[in-house]
Amino acid sequence: MIYLVTIVVYLLGLLGVGVWKSRGVETQDDIMVAGRRLGTGVLALTMLATWIGTGSLLGGAGAGYNYGLAAVWFSIGAWLGIFILWFIAPRARAFASYTVPDLLEARYHPVAQTLATLVTIIAYTTIVAYQFRGGSLILNLTVDLDAVLTGWTGIDWPWGMIVTALVVITYTGLAGMMSVVYTDVVNGVLLISGLVLATPFFLSDAGGFTQIHQSLPESHFTLFGTLTPAEILGLGLPPLALILAEANMYQRFFSAQDAATARRAVPIWIGLTIFVETLIVVLAVLGRVVYPDLSIATGEHEQILLVVLRNALPVGIAALMLSAAVAIVVSTGTSFLLVPATNIVHDIYQKRINPNASQATIVRLTRIVIVSLGVVAFIQIQFFTSVLSMALYAYTMYGALTPAVLATFFWKRANGPGAIASITGGMVTTFVWQFGVPRGWIPGLPDGIASLDAVIPALLIAVVLLIVVSLATAPPPESRWRPFQNPEPGENS
């Protein structure tokens, strides 16, 4: 039972770190922003481990299996977003807050903060939900592997999700950001090592470069493949929309030692992300050569990395890959669970209900909310058929905040009414396009428009509303935009 033992030992180690770190959690800064003590290397690796999750390991790999190298469009949007964040990072850290809704309240209006909190809860619990799904797939694979070696079986799909959910919820609740960021360093190194070590085995199993080229259509080796421009936008825009306003990244900027540290970490993060996400797509393409019959209709193709792991790799490499996969699921799940919990406690309870709450009360309530949101995330799993569909919906929903967040730092004329209209319009459009359009909620909608991915109309409406409403209403006072346009001494606004 080497595979199951590997997973159990790793998870117990994580929980041990959580218990150890929880002893030092005494204040709001500790549980929400790691005491604002993160250095450059830790910051870069925790951002990598947070961003590369089940959406990449399953959704990105599934796209690689289906589209070939053109699947990198699922990642290119995120890479562009990280580059833009390089300019935002020092400004965000200079603000030294806790959450993205904090930014929007200070820049625009308390209503913008409330809407941002609602969007975050919807989007981030969805992301947590597909971490549970991914963890279940890995645990079931573990059982399959051990069954081959020992004949032992015993964990089915629901129990795999329950075990994953319990680990993610418990680990997050123990010490919050204090426990998450430092194990992310180990998780990031483990992920990179596992993928690199697996590559020659994938290549060998596929029969070498000549066999690979002969086995797949030519479109699998081009940047655009068979994708239409609309499909490319449908793959690339949701990650771009998410990451530009991604609360986990801002929360990590807030956790940095200072603004300069936040900025230095971003180039390291983007380099590691490009390497890892490209390698995942390449491995998925190699996997299709060996296993060409995985069902795309049922989402089976999203398990290509796990299928090759189960059937092709030596035991030691497979165990390392399993540990890497679990590490990323847990890292991403804990990070995306902590953010909405922080929003609820800080942005709603502390600001609206009990401004004089003690530090002990805030820490205790944060843990309670983490458990509650974990249950909400678990319930959401039944509404989606694949990891990729969950990822694109969550990314697009959270992308409703992106125009207002970017305008916080780059457009002085943006105001409260514009931001409120933009967030509301993007959120409603995403929901209607995801659930209403397929059910005919908008009679007479042309097929060409109805078939668009939700991200295109949602972002378009959010941007238009931000610009039109802001220009049609009174400009904001200088006190609203000045802290974000010129946060550092000597910087020109």
**Cα–Cα distances in Å, from 266 out to 45, 83, 242, 249, 321?**
10, 8, 16, 10, 26
Count other C-beta atoms under 10 Å from residue 465's C-beta.
23
Q: Which amino acid is at 476?
A: P
Distance of alpha carbon 166 from alpha carbon 472, whole angstroms = 49
Helix (H, G, I), strand (E, B) or coil at 432: helix
Q: Is the pLDDT confidence value at 178 over 80?
A: no
Distance of alpha carbon 96 from alpha carbon 111, whole angstroms = 21
Helix (H, G, I), strand (E, B) or coil at 399: helix
Interacting residues of 349 by C-beta distance below 8 A, sequence separation 6+: 357, 362, 365
Q: What is the pLDDT of residue 384?
A: 66
Q: Which of 27-31, 91-95, 304-308 has the highest mean pLDDT?
A: 304-308
Tell me the mean pLDDT in the region 4-32.
72
Q: Judge contact between 180 and 335, C-beta under 8 A.
A: yes
Tell me the mean pLDDT in the region 188-217.
84
DSSP per-residue letters across 20-53: HHHTT--SHHHHHHGGG-B-HHHHHHHHHHHHSS
Handedness of CA 230, 235, 236, 237 (dihedral sign): positive
Beta-strand runs (E) in 84-243: none
pLDDT digits (tens, 9 = 90+) for 31-71: 666 667 788 888 888 888 878 877 788 888 888 998 999 98
Helical (H) or strand (E) element with 451: none
What percent of the chain has pLDDT above 70? 88
Q: Is the pLDDT confidence value at 155 over 60?
A: no
Q: Which amino acid is at 338?
A: L
Q: Judge contact between 340 and 99, C-beta under 8 A.
A: no
Distance of alpha carbon 298 from alpha carbon 372, whole angstroms = 30
182 or 227, higher pLDDT: 227
DSSP per-residue letters across 229-273: HHHHHHHHHHHHHHHHT-HHHHHHHHHBSSHHHHHHHHHHHHHHH
Tell me the mean pLDDT in the region 466-487.
89
Tell me the mean pLDDT in the region 179-197.
77
Confidence of residue 143 (pLDDT cuts 50, 70, 90): low
Tell me the mean pLDDT in the region 263-281.
91
- Mean pLDDT (the chain, rounded): 82
The pair of structure tokens assigned to 168 is: 């993610």
- Report DSSP state, residue 425: H
Q: What is the pLDDT of residue 179?
A: 65
Distance of alpha carbon 73 from alpha carbon 332, whole angstroms = 21
Tell me the mean pLDDT in the region 386-403.
80
Distance of alpha carbon 234 from alpha carbon 227, whole angstroms = 10
pLDDT digits (tens, 9 = 90+) for 478-489: 999 988 875 544
Q: Is 371 exposed, middle or buried (0-12, 13-18, 19+ CB in 10 A)?
A: middle
Angle at which helix 315-342 crosses helix 177-205, to 10 degrees, equals: 140
Q: Which of 88-102, 232-246, 453-467 has the highest mean pLDDT?
A: 453-467
Q: Is the pLDDT confidence value at 154 over 50?
A: no
35 or 458, higher pLDDT: 458
- Report DSSP state, residue 411: -
Confidence of residue 492 (pLDDT cuts 50, 70, 90): very low
Interacting residues of 12 by C-beta distance below 8 A, sequence separation 6+: none
Distance of alpha carbon 361 from alpha carbon 359, whole angstroms = 5
Distance of alpha carbon 103 from alpha carbon 113, whole angstroms = 8
Interacting residues of 485 by C-beta distance below 8 A, sequence separation 6+: 409, 412, 493
Please, what is the Cα angle at 221 between 217 and 227, to 5 degrees? 80
Structural domains of the chain ordered from first start = 2-385 (1.20.1730.10)
Residue 256 phi/psi, 5° resolution? -70, 160
Tell me the mean pLDDT in the region 263-287.
91
Q: What is the pLDDT of residue 316?
A: 77
Distance of alpha carbon 185 from alpha carbon 193, whole angstroms = 12
Question: Is this prediction's pTM over 0.85?
Answer: no
Tell me the mean pLDDT in the region 319-324.
76
Distance of alpha carbon 123 from alpha carbon 402, whole angstroms = 13
Q: What is the largest CA-CA distance in the chain?
A: 72
Task: Classify the phi-psi angles of 301: left when phi > 0, otherwise alpha if psi is within -120 to 50, otherwise beta.
Answer: alpha
Q: What is the pLDDT of residue 417?
A: 97
Q: Judge contact between 256 and 36, C-beta under 8 A.
A: yes
pLDDT digits (tens, 9 = 90+) for 325-376: 777 788 788 888 888 898 898 888 988 899 998 888 988 898 899 999 999 8
